[in-house]
Amino acid sequence: MRAKPAHYAQTFVSAVAVLLVSSAVLAVSACGVSDDSVPKATTTPVDPGRTPADVHWENYQGVQLPVGSHDGPSKLGTTAAGFSRTPQGAALAAINHSTRLSLAPDGAWPQVAAISLISGPAKDSWVLARAQVSITAPANPAVAPRITAYKITAYTPDRTDLTVYATYSDASITATSETVLWVSEDWRLLLPDPAAKTQTVQSVPSVPADAVKLEPPK
């Protein structure tokens, strides 16, 4: 990843490199999501290890993203919104939000950030850093990740912590720690506190056996 100005660099590496750390790219007006457009929590027993049902894949800027018929997103366009209040909905929200933030082109990223991110110092730092770079093209297929699995490490109806696993063309694997909060009737991404200098992305040798596997198209 290209170096950014010193006072923005740490925040940008930890927040924007989500799922795309080996890529050379960072790589609504906020319109609200109405209650009747958001999938409601179901009476199905909570099972963080259950694979999202009826998943299909949508291309966004060169990366295939999982979309669940039951768990969302139910609204797709420049942004993704409308996730179920379940562990599966939380995982799909984290994957969709983080990847779209990493790849959103210049004309779209303010809209994506408005819908996807929890307000606060972390969002403010990300916005300042993102404004200094330009993204005009999809991810390079040679370095674009394939989202292959996730593992929920903590779940409540209001907050979910998880690790998302992605593989690359060189067979390397990254594990990215992410958190989503249930705010305004949907899951939103909580970026790490910029003051904490948290390392959110790591290289790992393999995907854990107990992770929830996702099968992106070949």
The Cα–Cα gap between 141 and 158 comes to 36
In terms of residue numbers, what domain contains 183?
Answer: 6-31+52-213
pTM: 0.81
- Domain-embedded: residue 107: yes
Find residue 203's DSSP bridge partners. Answer: 174
pLDDT in tens, the chain (218 residues): 333 343 333 333 344 444 343 333 333 333 333 444 445 544 567 999 999 999 999 999 999 999 999 999 999 998 999 999 999 999 999 999 999 999 999 999 999 999 999 999 999 999 999 999 999 999 998 889 999 999 999 999 999 999 999 999 999 999 999 999 999 999 999 999 988 888 899 999 999 999 999 987 76
- Count of structural domains within the chain: 1
- Domain-embedded: residue 38: no
The Cα–Cα gap between 22 and 16 comes to 12
Q: Which residues contact 185 (CB under 8 A, 6 or more apart)?
A: 33, 35, 38
- Domain-embedded: residue 39: no
- Domain-embedded: residue 37: no
